[in-house]
Chains A and B, each alone.
Chain A
Amino acid sequence: MDAPPKISLDGLSKTFASRSGLVTALDNVSLNIAPGTFCVVVGPSGCGKTTLLRIVAGLEERTSGNFSIRRDDRSRPLNAMVFQGDSIFPWMNVWDNAAYGLKLRGVSAPQIREIVSHYLDRTGLRRFAEYYPHQLSGGMRQRVSIARAFANDPEVLFMDEPFSALDEQNKLLLQEELLRIWEEHKKTVIFITHSVDEAVTLGDKIVIMTASPGRIKAVVDVNLPRPRNILELRRDREFGELVFQIWGYLRTEVDAARAQVN
């Protein structure tokens, strides 16, 4: 069980310069994530969760500390990110959006066809392959974003509150679809959310962060069996207790975050 970690963060910190002086967004975050773990980071708004993800995805520089993602296969990209909000290209149709990473990497056309049609099938987008984003609903657009990330077959997947803009029903559907697709290969995932429900529903390991500066407050392991049935989970006693426990951790942080705003 003690495989070397796939992702490890070691004393990661990030400081921004702002008008009112230096702001510490991340403070000394250390964490090991084993291969194949669905790790969910949950915390109040503005706790630096997104910053954390952007640093490990290589989109932002860290101020101090280190992180590493272990490479197992040089031919595959290191990470792919599902962004918060609309990130699929309005000028490409669904198919070209989903194929974006593969095309950039110069994968052969027949292979692209096979991979993209697989993930469009899995996300229920097959019929919409020729559609442009403006013709799709928010939920459909986020499915394209998920298909694009999975199709690129990265070593690790990063998801930054991918469902936060969706309504409750769409959110449940997409969580279910995400779990189904994830079960195929069980990639290592870091998933950011502010929803405790979502965290327990999806995760193997839940990292609770403090309000700014962002530190790790607690790490909770979720041992709910997989594959999970999202509906059945709702009446599971353990599920309820985990939600309760994590809310307990978060409660003081949410209050603290609110106090800072006021």
Chain B
Amino acid sequence: MKPLLERHGDRLIGVLSPILLLIVWELLVRFHWISAQFFPAPSSIAVTFVKLARTGDLWLNVGVSLRRLLLGFIIGGVPGLLLGIVMGLSRPIRLFIEPLIASTYPIPKSALLPLVLLIFGLGESSKIAMVAMGVFYPVIMNTVTGVLQISKIYFDVGTNFGAGRWKTFRTIALPGAAPFIITGVKLGIGMGLILISIAEMVGADSGLGYMIWNAWQLMDVETMYVGLFMIAFLGFVFTLLLDEIERWLLPWRAA
């Protein structure tokens, strides 16, 4: 028993605190120390969760949000990555584009939602555009930094061994910047989750953001909590997934 505890001790402690919080929360509601109207007991949230899962409403909303996240992630992330590498490799292009990035980055993306709705309408594209914007900035900025921090000697090696533009990109710039790119992707996904929730609360009829907003209008607090937990869960799963991808893509990083 003891070796098991030693081996998994850290992880056990990590699991312990959320469980403890849920137990305390449950007890507080049961003893009427906090209002079930605002803080429904975890057990009743679980009941609502099962109910929504059975009717399929929950999965419909999760699916819609995931699709928007994925499309926005690709539409914002891929150009961010490519442009970031080009900017890292070419000084004139970097000097040309950098002011555009620097001046638009500080605008809160959420403040752009009305404009995005105006341009893209109430359909899918406005939600996807919001996610894409959120992903684009962290990816491009981290990619540029990632390419710039690659030691010059590696580019000399590439030149010496006759690497052309494409091979320099493939064998030096991309792998060399990869640790920074992954950090950018992680930040981008976090930003995407924030923006998808906001975008779906306004003028949407599906998705987790809509589910939470709609639950507020119906005063269906349990459903609201189910939505919140689902978003938290998605964020958690993405983090685990990206950590795993990172380990797989970057075996060369010192442990």
- CB-contacts of B150-166 with A (<8 A): 151, 153-154, 156-157, 159-163
Closest to A93 in B: B252
- Given known A-B contacts A89-B172, A91-B250, A100-B171, A152 and B161 have beta carbons under 8 A apart: yes
B167 within 8 Å of A by Cβ?
yes
Q: A59-B156, A91-B178, A104-B167 are in contact. Are A132 and B161 (CB under 8 A)?
A: no
Residue among B175, B176, B251, B252 with max Cβ neighbours from chain A (10 Å): B252
Q: Contact: B171 with A81, CB < 8 Å?
A: no
CB-based contact A77/B154 at 8 Å: no
> A80 near B161 (CB under 8 angstroms)?
yes
Q: Is there a chain B Cβ closer than 8 Å to A133's Cβ?
A: yes
A100 to B157 CA separation, bound complex (whole angstroms): 10
Q: Are B153's CB and A86's CB within 8 A?
A: yes
Contact with A along B129-167 (1 / 0, CB 8 A): 000000000000000000000010110110111110001
B-contacting residues, A132-181, CB 8 Å? 132-134, 152
Complex Cα spacing A12 to B78, Å: 46
A242 to B49, CA, bound (A): 87
Contact residues on A (Cβ < 8 Å of other chain), bracket: 20 to 34
**Would B252 and A134 count as touching, CB distance under 8 A?**
yes
Residues of A within 8 A of B153 (CB): 83, 85-87
Mask for B216-251, Cβ within 8 A of A = 1, else 0?
000000000000000000000000000000000011
In the complex, B254 has a CB within 8 A of chain A = yes
On chain B, the residues within 8 Å of A85 by CB distance are 153
Q: Within the assembled complex, what's the spacing in Å between the Cα atoms of A79 and B167?
A: 18
Q: A91: which B residues are within 8 A, CB to CB?
A: 175-176, 178, 250, 252
Chain B residues whose CB sits within 8 angstroms of the CB of A100 once the complex forms: 157, 161, 171
Cα–Cα, bound, A90→B159 (Å)? 17
Chain B contacts of A80 at CB under 8 A? Answer: 160-161
Which A residues touch B252, using CB under 8 A? Answer: 90-93, 132-134
- Minimum CB distance partner of B251 in chain A: A132
- Chain B positions within 8 Å of A, measured between CB atoms, are 151, 153-154, 156-157, 159-163, 167, 171-172, 175-176, 178, 250-254
Q: Which A residues contact B (CB, under 8 angstroms)?
A: 57-59, 77, 79-81, 83, 85-87, 89-93, 100-101, 104-105, 132-134, 152
Q: Beyond A93-B252, A132-B251: 18 further Cβ-contacts under 8 Å?
A: A57-B160, A77-B161, A77-B162, A81-B157, A83-B153, A87-B156, A89-B154, A89-B175, A91-B252, A92-B252, A100-B171, A101-B161, A101-B162, A104-B162, A104-B167, A104-B171, A132-B252, A134-B254
> Would you mind naming 30 contact pairs between A and B with Cβ atoms under 8 Å apart?
A58-B159, A59-B159, A59-B160, A81-B156, A81-B157, A81-B160, A83-B153, A83-B156, A85-B153, A86-B151, A86-B153, A87-B153, A87-B156, A89-B176, A90-B252, A91-B250, A91-B252, A92-B252, A100-B171, A101-B161, A101-B162, A104-B161, A104-B163, A104-B167, A104-B171, A132-B252, A133-B252, A134-B252, A134-B253, A134-B254
